[in-house]
Amino acid sequence: MVSREAVIYDALRTVIDPDLQQNIVDAGMVKGVAWNEENGQLSLTLQLTTPACPLKGYFEQQIGEAVRRAMGERWEVKIDFRAHTLGASAAHLPQVKNLLLIASGKGGVGKSTVAVNLAIALAQAGARVGLLDADIYGPSVPILLGLEHAKPAVREIDGRPYLIPISKYGLSVMSLGFLVPPHQATPWRGPMASNTLRQLLTETDWPELDYLIVDMPPGTGDIQLTLAQQFRPQGAIIVTTPQKVALADAEKALVMFQMPLVQVPVLGIIENMAYFWTADLPERKFYIFGQNGGRMLAEKYDIPFLGEIPLLEEVVQRSDAGIPAALSTETPMADVFSHLAGTLAREVARLAFANTNTLS
């Protein structure tokens, strides 16, 4: 006779993780299976590849159905979700599992807005998240997070000084804006800018992080190359708006990351200010800058389209007030960013698993 345990594991083997493209048992996701014949309860722990995994509902449904198909309708399944974020560690930053650059060729398309809100959405999903403002020419993270007057403390580690990141909204944050007076221009020459950024990254005492999100300056210059070549980021996310001029610059950034000497995986494209939306006309989307440009660019290069963000008056107001829109529960923005964060986290995990073929 086939043992109960074998029946359970056979049932669980019919459930496939769509990102790992393996069944959940052989992928090593299933732990601590226990069952009670009397009350028909089965419990297990499912190890996910990211706390921001948007597939929890999918797994609950698939596992419940598989178990009831194999064992009978009276069985109920209780799943305890755990996450161990996949990632490879960036070079020189062993405590950072995934270094992710938010970039675009063009200025003003919303890189900083996206970086800040994505970071918050990932943190709200339970991930450990850091945010580095790499725009040393015009740091905007201090304003976006209401940290204009923050001054990081310094701690000596092995006789060397390290900056302690500022904590806000669940993020560990560092910006050059914390170190220079807000209205002082910073006219760096290229190599000096790259050195300053390298220092800011390596001389900050980052805690253990699942994701370190980097708000990049616009362009495809020294800073982009330094970060890419010296730190081997796990991926870049390209932000664009739908206009032709923005798309052309986004394409330049994308091509730069894919160059043989750079080789940063482009995890996807986000289209910001995709359409205008207002609560007065909730059914309407006004495509004032054109439609689907970001999606088409993603298709052209066969990279994922991560999603679109509407143009909302509230985003500007909240940015200026230092309370990012992802924190709001009254408008669609929190949903938009939590969805984007989930899609991005899946993409990061999928790539890490493809490279290592292990969950640890």
Ligand X SMILES: Nc1ncnc2c1ncn2[C@@H]1O[C@H](COP(=O)(O)OP(=O)(O)OP(=O)(O)O)[C@@H](O)[C@H]1O
Residues that bind ligand X (CB under 6 A): 107-113, 135, 138, 140, 218, 272-273, 309, 311-312, 315-316, 319
Q: How far is the CB of 42 from Mg ion (least distance, A)?
A: 49
Sign of the CA dihedral 237, 110, 293, 243? negative
Q: Which does 6 bind (CB under 5 to 8 A by kind): ligand X, Mg ion, none?
A: none
Q: How far is the CB of 243 from Mg ion (least distance, A)?
A: 18
Q: Which does 94 bind (CB under 5 to 8 A by kind): ligand X, Mg ion, none?
A: none
What residues form DSSP beta bridges with 211? Answer: 129
Tell me which residue has its CB nearest to Mg ion. Answer: 112
Residue 250 Cα distances to 113, 219, 226, 240, 326, angstroms: 16, 9, 19, 6, 24
- Give the pairing of strands 171-175 and 166-168: antiparallel
Q: Which does 108 bind (CB under 5 to 8 A by kind): ligand X, Mg ion, none?
A: ligand X
Q: How far is the CB of 112 from ligand X (least distance, A)?
A: 3
Question: How far apart are alpha carbons 357 and 351 in whole angstroms?
Answer: 10
Question: How far apart are alpha carbons 121 and 338 in whole angstroms?
Answer: 5
Nearer to ligand X, 98 or 319 (CB): 319
Q: Give 93's DSSP letter.
A: B
Q: Which does 316 bind (CB under 5 to 8 A by kind): Mg ion, ligand X, none?
A: ligand X
Largest CA distance in the chain: 78
Q: Which does 113 bind (CB under 5 to 8 A by kind): ligand X, Mg ion, none?
A: ligand X
Closest CA to 274 of 293, 257, 255: 293
The alpha carbon torsion through 175, 177, 178, 182 (nearest 10 deg) reads -170
Q: How far is the CB of 73 from ligand X (least distance, A)?
A: 47
Q: Which does 319 bind (CB under 5 to 8 A by kind): Mg ion, ligand X, none?
A: ligand X
Nearer to ligand X, 107 or 161 (CB): 107
Nearer to ligand X, 227 or 352 (CB): 227
Residue range at the interface with Mg ion (CB under 5 A); choices 3-11, 134-142, 161-169, 290-298: 134-142
| Residue ranges in 72-99 assigned as alpha helix (H) | none
Phi-psi map region of 337: left, alpha, beta (phi>0 left; psi -120 to 50 alpha): alpha
Question: How far apart are alpha carbons 15 and 186 in whole angstroms?
Answer: 55
Nearer to ligand X, 93 or 311 (CB): 311
Nearer to Mg ion, 112 or 343 (CB): 112
Q: Which does 272 bind (CB under 5 to 8 A by kind): ligand X, Mg ion, none?
A: ligand X
Q: How far is the CB of 248 from ligand X (least distance, A)?
A: 15
Q: How far is the CB of 37 from Mg ion (least distance, A)?
A: 59
| Residue 112 is a binding residue for Mg ion (CB under 5 A) | yes
Q: How far is the CB of 173 from ligand X (least distance, A)?
A: 15
Q: Are 52 and 125 in contact (CB under 8 A)?
A: yes
Nearer to Mg ion, 165 or 217 (CB): 217
Contacts of 209 (CB under 8 A, 6+ apart): 95, 96, 97, 128, 129, 130, 172
Task: List residues binding Mg ion (CB under 5 A).
Answer: 111-112, 135, 140
